[in-house]
Structure 1
Amino acid sequence: MIAITGASGQLGQFVVQGLLKHTAAANIVALVRNVTKATALSELGVTVRQADYNQPDTLATALHGVEKLLLISSSEVGQRVPQHQAVIHAAKQQGVALLAYTSVLHADSNPMLLAAEHKATEQAIHDAGIPAVILRNGWYTENYTQSVADHIASGIVMGCAGDGKFYTASRQDYADAAVAVLLATEPQAGKVYELAGDTGFTLSEYAAEISRLTGKGVHYHNVTPAEYASFLCELGLPGAFAAVLADSEAQAAIGALADSSKTLSRLLGRATTPWQHSLQARLKIPV
């Protein structure tokens, strides 16, 4: 059986849907914090089990009989390492044959604050001695397109990335990559994939594309990391998380989220989704 943590989340749902195209629902285990909120997965015939990162005693039971496990990184920045370690411990205890982990691009050398927990998790996996494959995901295009309505309304894309390029891919692309690895016939243990979109863009180019598609005047306004963090706080983000996001953009300015290796498209066997297409889809403009 193949299990997916965070299966009811945005990435997890795409992974489950992808697996269902290639294997029977009986082979898939959706691990979720609250099973009552995963009825849609149950209706697909997928086995749903409770697995709470903060309740380690639920994890060993949830992983019973699981051969392959996709550990989707926790959304709780600042608490990820102990949460991930609990899953890793349970996976080893249950004899999971392959653990796949969604890390971040170039985690071993990435200077972003956000990368520290991923690097620590990768080390914990290594120290546990469990067979593993690391999926170092770059930025999701949706990180920006989800806010396009606000960009149009204000006429501004605010950020602190300067002329740094983001080699983003769609959430669907990263999910399809995870499916490819989980279903691969060749051994995956020990592999590390640096995954990013085929092409990159600056936030100035992103703003210009919004203008082109909508006819609205939208431009990129570059500010200092401190100013950007303050802006995010005004939008309602917690201060610590706003600081992490501002740091990510500041590091992107010097290439932290750039990767032109096209490893992702080779793994997929197709080109990654152009960021322009993701933007058009968000705007409900036919591609």
Structure 2
Amino acid sequence: MILITGSTGALGAETIKALLRIIPSEQIVALARNPEKAQELVDAGITVRQGDYSDYNSLLAAFAGIDKLLMISSPAFSDQSFEANTILAAKNAGIKYVLYTGIQGKKESGWVIPGVTEREVNMEKLLAASGLSYTIALNALYIDVIPFLLGPGVIEKGVLFPSGDGAAAVASRSDLGEALAKIITADHKYPLQVTLANSQSWSRQDIARILSEITGKDIPVVDLPVDEYVAY
């Protein structure tokens, strides 16, 4: 049995869709903080169990009889006890394997974002000390969030983004969900870390070019200072 946390979220939902193409619905269990929001999963033949990262006992009960756990990371800036609760419950429930969704970053940089990347460092330590078999999937930036990063006025104002010449190998949540589904259903064990990314990268110049082709307008790239971008 495979249990998916964050089942009503975007990445969890895409992973479950991919899992249904690989294994029968009877082998999938979805964890939901509010099961009433997961009726679509019930209709697909998936067992839905109530559980909350903040409630250790609810997790322990939900994990009963589960062999593999896909733990989708809790939202940024949330209580970091959530990860500890989940790992402890997984261990005490007898789960054999944990797949955790982390985020990419340069290990040698030493740059930590409070409430965001610091939880990834702590999660690595928790998993390493747990004695569980695990894999951390380092997800790429979601291509789905590019409209949010560009802002509502991109067609009129241009690509206002202070990324210099940087480029990102962004990937869709559906592709990442398919990758996670294949990892957790594999017969073999994956390495402790797997990087999930696109096969090519896009810069802000590439995005402006693509938008220009789509709209027939000349969408400029505007080198906006960071503080002005944050305000925008």
Q: Aligned partner of 1:28: which letter?
A: I
User: Could you say what secondary structure the match of 2:152 adopts?
Assistant: helix
TM-score, length of structure 1 as denominator length: 0.75
For 2:80, the equivalent position in structure 1 comes to 81
Q: Aligned partner of 2:38: which letter?
A: A
1:65 deviates by 0.6
Structure 2 distance, partners of 1:152, 1:162, is 17
For 2:214, the equivalent position in structure 1 comes to 213
Structure 2 distance, partners of 1:21, 1:181, is 14
User: Could you say what secondary structure the match of 2:168 adopts?
Assistant: coil
Task: Report if aligned partners of 1:3, 1:29 keep a CA contact under 8 Å in 2.
Answer: yes
1:143 deviates by 1.4
Q: Aligned partner of 2:128: which letter?
A: H
User: Tell me, which stretches of 5 or more residues in structure 1 are unaligned?
Assistant: 232-287
1:149 deviates by 8.0
For 1:164, the equivalent position in structure 2 comes to 166
1:81 deviates by 2.5
Q: Call closer, same or farther: CA 1:155–1:229 in 2, change over 3 Å.
A: closer
1:121 deviates by 1.1
For 1:261, the equivalent position in structure 2 comes to none
For 1:26, the equivalent position in structure 2 comes to 26
Q: Call closer, same or farther: CA 1:210–1:153 in 2, change over 3 Å.
A: closer
Structure 2 distance, partners of 1:78, 1:136, is 18
Task: Report if aligned partners of 1:152, 1:216 keep a CA contact under 8 Å in 2.
Answer: no
User: Could you say what secondary structure the match of 1:150 adopts?
Assistant: coil
Structure 1 distance, partners of 2:166, 2:178, is 27
Deviates more, 1:51-60 or 1:173-182: 51-60
1:7 deviates by 0.6
Task: Report if aligned partners of 2:8, 2:32 keep a CA contact under 8 Å in 1.
Answer: yes
For 2:126, the equivalent position in structure 1 comes to 124
Task: Report if aligned partners of 2:154, 2:160 keep a CA contact under 8 Å in 1.
Answer: no
How many residues in Structure 1 have an aligned counterpart in Structure 2? 229
The 5 Å alignment of 1:83-122 reads 83-106=82-105, 108-109=107-108, 111=111, 113=113, 114-122=116-124
- Identity percentage over the alignment? 29
> How big is the alpha-carbon RMSD for the aligned residues of Structure 1 and Structure 2?
1.9
The C-alpha deviation readout for 1:121-145, integer Å capped at 9, x for no partner, is 1111112221101100111111104
Task: Report if aligned partners of 1:158, 1:220 keep a CA contact under 8 Å in 2.
Answer: yes
User: Could you say what secondary structure the match of 1:38 adopts?
Assistant: helix
Deviates more, 1:102-111 or 1:88-97: 102-111
User: Tell me, which stretches of 5 or more residues in structure 2 are unaligned?
Assistant: none
1:204 deviates by 2.0
TM-score, length of structure 2 as denominator length: 0.91
For 2:5, the equivalent position in structure 1 comes to 5
